Amino acid sequence: MKVLVAMSGGVDSSMAAALLVEQGHDVTGVHLKMADTPSGLPGKGCCTLDDARDARRVADRLDIAFAVWDFSAVFAERVVDDFVSEYQSGRTPNPCVRCNERVKYAALLDRARAVGFGALATGHHVRLRRDADGTAHLWRAADPDKDQTYVLYMADQRQLAATLWPVGEHHKSSLRAMAAERGLLTAAKPDSHDICFIPDGDLAGFLRPRLGQRAGTFIGPDGQTLGSHEGAYRFTVGQRRGLGLSGRRQPLYVTAIDGQQVHVGGREQLRSSRLLATGMSWIAGHPPASGGVTAQVRYRGRPLPCEIDLNGEVADVQFSNDEPEGVAPGQAVVFYEGQECLGGGTITRSWSQTSAASA
Amino acid sequence: MTIYLDHAATTPVDPGVLAAMLPYLQAEHGNPSSAHRAGRAARAAVEHAREQVATALGVAPLDVVFTSGGTESDNAAIKGIAWAARAAGRGNHLVTTAIEHHAVLETAEWLAEQQGFELTVVPVTTDGIVEVDRLLDAVRDDTVLVSVMAANNEIGTLQPLDVIGPALARRQVPLHTDAVQAFGRTHLDITGWSLGAVSLSAHKINGPKGVGVWVQARDLPVQSLLHGGGQERGIRSGTFNAAGIVGCGAAVELAAQTMTTEVPRLRWLRDRLLSGLLAVDGIGLNGHAERRLPHNANVAVDRCNGEALLFALDMAGVAVSAGSACQSGATAASHVLAGIDAPADKAHVRMTCGRSTTQADIDTAVEVFGDCVKRLRDAGGGYL
Strands B212-216 and B64-67: antiparallel
Close Cβ partners of B271 (under 8 Å, ≥ 6 residues apart): none
Residue B30 at interface with chain A, using a CB cutoff of 8 Å:
no
- State whether B308 and A74 contact (CB < 8 Å): no
The residue from A46, A99, A306, A341 that is catalytic is A99
Which chain A residues are within 8 Å of B376, Cβ to Cβ? Answer: 114-115
CA angle A81–A330–A215, rounded 5-degree value: 70
- State whether B314 and A65 contact (CB < 8 Å): yes
- Under CATH, what is the fold of the domain A271-351? Elongation Factor Tu (Ef-tu); domain 3 (2.40.30)
Residue of chain B minimizing CA distance to A77: B384
| Mean pLDDT in residue range A276-296 | 93
pLDDT, averaged across chain A:
91
Domain ranges for chain B: 3-9+259-378, 15-255
Close Cβ partners of A76 (under 8 Å, ≥ 6 residues apart): A35
User: Residue B333: what pLDDT?
Assistant: 81
Cα separation, B214 vs B245, whole angstroms: 12
User: Residue A320: what pLDDT?
Assistant: 85
Select from B301, B328, B371, B376 the residue whose CB has the most chain A CBs within 10 Å, as the one to mutate to test that interface: B328
CATH 3.30.1490.20 holds for B3-9+259-378? no
Confidence of residue A200 (pLDDT cuts 50, 70, 90): confident
Q: What b/e sequence results for A86-98 when a residue is b if at least 16 CB atoms lie within 10 Å of its CB, and e otherwise?
A: bbeebbbbbbbbb
User: Residue B337: what pLDDT?
Assistant: 94
Strands A119-121 and A126-130: unpaired
User: Residue A76: what pLDDT?
Assistant: 94
As a residue count, chain B comes to 384
Assess whether pLDDT exceeds 70 at residue A45. Answer: no
Q: Which amino acid is at B367?
A: E
Residue B379 at interface with chain A, using a CB cutoff of 8 Å:
yes
Exposure on the CB side of residue A342, measured as CA atoms within 13 A:
20
- State whether A56 and B329 contact (CB < 8 Å): yes
Domain ranges for chain A: 2-181, 213-269, 271-351
Exposure on the CB side of residue A28, measured as CA atoms within 13 A:
24
What ipTM was reported for this prediction? 0.88
Residue A299 at interface with chain B, using a CB cutoff of 8 Å:
no
The residue from B304, B326, B353, B372 that is catalytic is B326
Percent of chain A surpassing pLDDT 90: 74
Q: What are phi and psi of A123, to 5 degrees?
A: -95, 25
Q: Which of B327, B331, B382 sits opposite A49 (nearest CB)?
A: B327
Residue B322 at interface with chain A, using a CB cutoff of 8 Å:
no
Residue B382 at interface with chain A, using a CB cutoff of 8 Å:
yes
Q: How close, in Å, is residue A107 to chain B by CA atoms? A: 5
Cα separation, B212 vs B202, whole angstroms: 5
- Under CATH, what is the fold of the domain B15-255? Aspartate Aminotransferase; domain 2 (3.40.640)
Residue of chain B minimizing CA distance to A55: B328
Residue A56 at interface with chain B, using a CB cutoff of 8 Å:
yes
pLDDT tens for chain B, 384 residues long, are 799 999 999 999 999 999 999 999 999 999 999 999 999 999 999 999 999 999 999 999 999 999 999 999 999 999 999 999 999 999 999 999 999 999 999 999 999 999 999 999 999 999 999 999 999 999 999 999 999 999 999 999 999 999 999 999 999 999 999 999 999 999 999 999 999 999 999 999 999 999 999 999 999 999 999 999 999 999 999 999 999 999 999 999 999 999 999 999 999 999 999 999 999 999 999 999 999 999 999 999 999 999 999 999 999 999 999 866 666 677 778 999 999 999 999 999 999 999 999 999 999 999 999 999 999 999 999 999
User: Residue A38: what pLDDT?
Assistant: 43
**What is the largest distance, in Å, between two alpha-carbon atoms of chain A?**
65
pLDDT in tens, A76-93: 999 999 999 999 988 999
CATH architecture of residue range(s) A213-269: Roll (2.30)
Cα separation, A103 vs A6, whole angstroms: 12
User: Residue A83: what pLDDT?
Assistant: 96
User: Residue A242: what pLDDT?
Assistant: 83
| Mean pLDDT in residue range A157-175 | 97
- Report yes or no: A114 and A62 within 8 Å, Cβ to Cβ: no
- Ranges of beta strands (E only) in B123-226 are 143-147, 175-178, 197-201, 212-216
User: Residue A291: what pLDDT?
Assistant: 80
User: Residue B325: what pLDDT?
Assistant: 65
- State whether A107 and B379 contact (CB < 8 Å): no
User: Residue A47: what pLDDT?
Assistant: 57
Cα separation, B127 vs B284, whole angstroms: 12
CATH 2.50.20.20 holds for A2-181? no
- State whether B379 and A74 contact (CB < 8 Å): no
Closest CA to A94 of A341, A336, A342, A334: A334
Confidence of residue A141 (pLDDT cuts 50, 70, 90): very high
DSSP B322-370: -SEE-TTSPEEPPHHHHHTT--TTSEEEEEE--TT--HHHHHHHHHHHH
- State whether A40 and B376 contact (CB < 8 Å): no
Task: Decide if A306 is catalytic.
Answer: no
User: Residue A248: what pLDDT?
Assistant: 75
Angle between helices B242-278 and B37-57 (to 10 degrees): 30
Percent of chain A surpassing pLDDT 70: 95
pLDDT in tens, A122-132: 999 999 999 99
Least confident of A41-45, A61-65, A352-356, B52-56: A41-45
Which chain A residues are within 8 Å of B381, Cβ to Cβ? Answer: 114
